[in-house]
Homo-oligomer: A and B are copies of this chain.
């Protein structure tokens, strides 16, 4: 026989197990830890690798525009740029519209990105292999759908 408390405990356990937000964040933590570890030799965190690659593929790009592409708050992007600027990997210059700032990679930023890509390829392949190609494709597809449907921007 179950006490009322036990029933509530089970209920709350179900909530945690079913929470879309919790499961996404949990999976993010697991995968981020893998990528951070794999990218260590390059001196980049996973987030920083993403930023450099995104800038590389869109430069010159303004802060607001890039932040929307990344589904990231504008101010978060600004702060995430700081360590990259300190390292001399990203150049931030005023745009033609004096309100804006445009981002681009420096030569040294391009270099570190190139090194990081080797390690990225390895860990990405490892993840695809571990999940199985079919599962990985399903994951990416459903994440894209989720972003598309729930993205506030």
- What is A's interface to B at a CB cutoff of 8 Å? 8-10, 12-13, 15-16, 18-35, 46-47, 50, 53-54, 56-58, 70-72, 113, 117, 120, 124, 127-128, 130-131, 135-136, 138-140, 142-147, 149-152
| In contact, B19 and A124 (Cβ under 8 angstroms) | yes
Partner of A71, one of B29, B117, B143: B29
Given contacts A12-B56, A29-B71, A152-B30, contact A24 B24 (CB under 8 A): yes
Please give 11 more A-B residue pairs, beta carbons under 8 A apart, in addition to A10-B57, A16-B50, A135-B142: A9-B56, A12-B56, A19-B124, A25-B47, A26-B72, A27-B147, A29-B71, A31-B146, A131-B150, A139-B143, A142-B142
In the docked arrangement, what's the CA distance between A146 and B33, Å? Answer: 13
CB-CB under 8 A from A128, the residues of chain B are 20
In the docked arrangement, what's the CA distance between A115 and B29, Å? Answer: 27
